[in-house]
Amino acid sequence: TQLLEQSPQFLSIQEGENLTVYCNSSSVFSSLQWYRQEPGEGPVLLVTVVTGGEVKKLKRLTFQFGDARKDSSLHITAAQPGDTGLYLCAGEEQTGANNLFFGTGTRLTVIP
Amino acid sequence: GAGVSQSPRYKVAKRGQDVALRCDPISGHVSLFWYQQALGQGPEFLTYFQNEAQLDKSGLPSDRFFAERPEGSVSTLKIQRTQQEDSAVYLCASTPGRQGGNTIYFGEGSWLTVV
């Protein structure tokens, strides 16, 4: 059972466009992480957000954690072909929990 | 090694065959996780080890799945009498600490296809 729903599931855009990926749940999470996974590789951590309403920026990527800690978004400005990949959100239900609940994933393709 | 290493990278098994998947975590990492990732889906938790102790196996889908980490380093995930629905990527991950909230480092995965 996937507790985290991501949208859109697939996204294909032109280089230079902006995009937003959403991660939604009915559950409250103590923290939420975003990963990028390339074909044939394991997921690689991009960011962890902990506080409701928190915004973190990583170059052209902006991550936001919802006030109620149930949802999150990832915004990419001026997308580049190197941003292509599977983006996964993952939530930790309680502090100190030992497993993450992953979202359904958003497969992004940036066309040069 | 520098990262989490998994072997084999690719495995084709006939239905009913037993398979063993190996994970070498980052040296010194206390916590080790196994996840199952079906095609087009996000990873799903299988089991968690803290050193040699298997503290959580709530995600193992059936008693055909068994995992061990006898010396607190290398781990093996064994699947007995494989079924077609077992076809997936099996990801191993490790973290340095005992608690959640640490950065989780994933291996490249073992791709299992059951025919």
Q: What is the CATH number of the domain that holds A37?
A: 2.60.40.10
Place of tokens 């992004």: A108
Beta-bridge mates of residue A25: none
- Chain A, chain B: beta-carbon pairs less than 8 Å apart: 63
Q: Return the SS3 of A24.
A: strand
Q: Return the SS3 of A13.
A: strand
Length of chain B: 115
Quick check: B6 and B110 in contact, CB under 8 A? yes
Tokens matching residue A11: 């996204």
All domains of chain B in start order, with CATH: 5-110 (2.60.40.10)
Q: Is residue A83 pLDDT above 90, yes or no?
A: yes
Give A42-69 pLDDT, tens digit per residue: 999 999 999 999 999 999 999 999 999 9
- Per-residue model confidence (pLDDT) at position A97: 64
Q: Do B100 and A88 touch (CB under 8 A)?
A: no
Tokens matching residue A32: 């939420």
Q: Is residue B1 pLDDT above 70, yes or no?
A: no
**C-alpha to C-alpha distance for B78 and A64, rounded to whole angstroms:** 39
Tokens matching residue A46: 């991009």
Contacts of residue B26 in chain A, CB cutoff 8 Å? Answer: none
Instruction: List CB contacts of B40: < 8 A, sequence separation 6 or more.
Output: A105
How many domains are there within chain A?
A: 1
Contacts of residue A2 in chain B, CB cutoff 8 Å? Answer: 41-42
Q: Do B48 and A98 touch (CB under 8 A)?
A: yes
Q: What is the mean pLDDT of chain A?
A: 92
Provide the residue range defining the domain that includes A89.
Answer: 5-111
Chain A CB within 8 Å of residue B59 CB: yes
Give B89-105 pLDDT, tens digit per residue: 999 999 988 766 678 89
Cα torsion A50, A21, A8, B103: sign: negative
Q: Is residue A2 pLDDT above 70, yes or no?
A: no
- Per-residue model confidence (pLDDT) at position A20: 98
Widest Cα–Cα separation across chain B: 39
Q: Is residue B37 pLDDT above 60, yes or no?
A: yes
Query: Which residues 72-91 of chain B have a CB within 8 Å of chain A?
Result: 91
User: Taking CA atoms, what residue in A is nearest to B57?
Assistant: A99
Reference A13, options A56, A55, A75, A103; nearest CA is A75
